[in-house]
Amino acid sequence: MTELSFLTATGMAAGFVAETRPRAHGAGIDPYEYDRVTAPIDSLLDWPDACRAAALAHRARAERAAGRGRTRTAGHHHQTAARWFHLAALLPDPDRERAAAVAAEADRSMGAALALLEPSARRISGEGYAGWLRLPRAGEGAGAEGSPLVVLVPGMDSAKEEFHRPVDALLARGVAVLAVDGPGQGLLATGPALGPDHRHALRRALDHVLEEGTGEGTGIDPGRVGVIGLSLGGYLAADFAAHDPRVRAAALVSGPYRLDRDALVPFVTATLAQRCGGEAAARDFVARIDLAALAPRLRRLPLLLVEGGRDRIPGVTNAEALTADLPHAELLHVPHGNHLLGNALPDWLPDTADWLADVLAAPGA
């Protein structure tokens, strides 16, 4: 397993807290609460417990609100608890039992939130996947064959509990969303390994949704399926789209074009080693990441690349390089955006949600 000594290195905690702040904001965490929760953290080893304590506080508030009949308030506190539990699982925690328990708690809180706020949400799970299908309000975006669907693919250290804002933006535009953990992610982080078979798990998840997606006002139109991938999920989404002809459009947000394993920072290499099931498997997976190799299969698709000008991670070539291979790809470049553009939400999220909704607007898009 990759060396985890960086977790106790001097100065690492302050840097990680600062770098993660925009990401937490993008995930829906109040930045002032974030500052209060993270201020006492002196070592990265303290990060999981600090975030978990914040999550448990919101869960307790949710339970008190529910006991008073305040359903919406309870739902929002459960949702915030899910976000904090997810943040607790970001680091490559050497305590794998704790990591699995935290991911399960995030999933539990997300389920509690949706039960109160969106009773129409449906849980799906199967071999290598676990997720939530969330539906727009009846009549919004649905044609005779049902609603368009976007599959949301999280990244290396992410999960279905992180990207509430993109999901909400798509739902508001009449698009159903399947936010799904695949192998090595979220609820499955300590189970099946992240790797080249990820697209097969996504295919099974889409099969699941389309096979069950019947019923007037709640169905999914199989001719209007798109995908959005975030961070490493950008590559995973592109790989899925390249191999599944049902996918009609793809948006890649802060995705990698290629990775140079020897230039990656310790946080990335350690996380990949844990999520892929070992150092050798991680090296093999990293060597496969090449959007140029997928380009011939992506020429049939409308493609949007969302990039931040301040997104510079050692060892990562950003996906905007794909425009040289696919001139038809649209590039949304935000000069001041960082990785995942959590510091620039108004500059990319509405336009990206509009783009996906517009591309999938017509049956057989």
Average pLDDT over residues 151-162: 96
Q: Rounded to an integer, what distance in angstroms lies between the CA atom of residue 148 and that of residue 141?
A: 7
Determine the average pLDDT of the residues in 25-32: 96
More confident residue, 363 or 266: 266
Position 126 pLDDT exceeds 80 = yes
Higher pLDDT, 218 or 244: 244
Closest C-alpha to 151, from 122, 131, 172: 131
pLDDT band at 94 (very low <50, low <70, confident <90, very high): confident
Residue 364 is predicted with a pLDDT of: 52
Helix (H) or strand (E) holding 127: none
User: Does the pLDDT value for residue 141 go beyond 70?
Assistant: no
Q: How far is CA 282 from CA 103, 149, 191, 226, in A?
A: 21, 31, 15, 28
Over range 32-42, report the average pLDDT: 97
Write down the mean pLDDT value for the chain: 93
Would you say residue 35 has pLDDT above 80? yes
CATH of the domain spanning 1-117, picked from 3.40.50, 3.40.1000, 1.20.1440, 1.10.3470: 1.20.1440
Domain with CATH 3.40.50.1820 in the chain: 120-365
pLDDT at residue 5, rounded to an integer: 77
SS3 12: helix
pLDDT of residue 216: 47
Residue 3 pLDDT grade (very low, low, confident, very high; cuts 50, 70, 90): low
Listed range (60-64, 190-194, 205-209, 250-254) with the worst mean pLDDT: 190-194
User: What integer is the mean pLDDT of 56-84?
Assistant: 98
What's the one-letter identity of residue 83?
R
Options 3.40.50.2300, 3.40.50.150, 3.40.50.1820, 1.10.3720.10; CATH for 120-365 is: 3.40.50.1820
Task: Count Cα atoms within 13 angstroms, Cβ side, for 2.
Answer: 27
Residues of the chain with CATH 1.20.1440: 1-117
Q: What is the pLDDT of residue 358?
A: 97
DSSP 262: G
Cα–Cα distance measured from residue 304 to residue 355, given in angstroms and rounded to the nearest whole number: 8
Q: Which residue has the tokens 């449906």?
A: 122
- Please count the residues of the chain: 365
pLDDT of 217: 47
- Tokens at 40, concatenated: 């006492």
Pairwise CA distance, residues 227 & 65, whole Å:
36
Segment among 57-66, 127-136, 211-220, 324-333 with least mean pLDDT: 211-220
